[in-house]
Amino acid sequence: MNTKVKVGLFILEVVVILIIIIYLAITKYWPEYQESLGSSEKLFLPSIYATGVEIKITTGPELFLVIDKEEKVAAIFFENEQATYLANQEIENKSITKAIPKIIQILIDNKLLDNNTITIINYKDRKVYDKVLTKVKETLTANNKVVAITETSSSLQQKFQEEGLEEAEDDDILWKLYEQSMDILNNDSIEPETNNTVDLTKDLASVYADTIYQKLMTYRVNLNLKDQEINASNMPIQYIPGDSENTIYPTSDSWYYIKDYKIYAEISFKGEKQQYTFCYQGSLEEKKEGNCV
């Protein structure tokens, strides 16, 4: 066998191996990787965009809903840290008739709508926007919530310009919004500020801890969770306020996990002079002061 034939066979073998690797990556490993990600962490493709609806809450979460041609919420772009309450809640890929009530319910459960105004912005399809608006109002009514709603419209180009960015194609704008959302979602250093201007008493801290634990119980019941590992990104405890003004938050070393439908948690608050910590061993009744051992 001459040298040219040997080289040709070698190149052919390399090409075949590369084809096999690419095939496995596309058909096996990439789907497995995507499956391992949370619902808000999957790769975004601008081509799925049919229309958009933006929801902004005064002094609260701001988010942009990417809606596809089947009227499903294909992606959520988080526009501030408070919006990450909705991260990895399996909202994506649900129809707007199911996704919108779930979004509003999560915001209500975390008291992010109290004494606030909701601005709902239409980005393209008025028919889809009206369906979103209807579901928002129905969910508020079902929860006996009276919240002022402001209706308006915009465009991707206008939104980009308002943020001080240069003019671009719609696909590029969507990709930029996706990148900004992922930066917010993955920025582990971002944490709500605890109000330390007032010295917390042990009794107040205990009440705040109970409030947060009760919100975790509501979260577990709503999603019917049997187990959830510690420090899971579904509902970060550091983003759950302990007071109605949304100014008191647990310290970064607070944690919780769910096992056999029970919530185990260590919740701490830092005052001006000292830190208060409470341990919950599966229920509100099984609570003690200090760290969990």
What does the pLDDT look like over 171-226, one tens digit per residue? 889 988 988 888 888 764 444 444 444 568 888 899 999 999 988 988 888 778 88
Neighbours of 65 (CB within 10 A): 24
Amino acid at 20: I
pLDDT of res. 221: 83
Residue 162 has pLDDT above 80, yes or no: no
The whole-number pLDDT of residue 109 equals 85
Compute how many other C-beta atoms are within 10 angstroms of the C-beta atom of residue 129: 21
Is the confidence at residue 98, as pLDDT, over 90?
yes
State the chain's mean pLDDT as an integer: 82
Of the pLDDT bands very low, low, confident and very high (cuts 50, 70, 90), residue 65 is very high
Report how far apart the first and last C-alpha atoms of the chain are (Å, whole number).
73
| Residues whose CB is less than 8 angstroms from the CB of residue 37 and which lie 6 or more positions away in sequence, other chains included | none
Q: What contacts 289, CB < 8 A, 6 or more positions away?
A: 202, 206, 276, 277, 278, 279
pLDDT (0 to 100) of residue 36: 41
Strands 148-153 and 117-122 turn out to be parallel
* pLDDT score of 240 more than 80: yes
Q: Name which residue leads in pLDDT, 90 or 233.
A: 90
Q: What is the pLDDT of residue 197?
A: 44
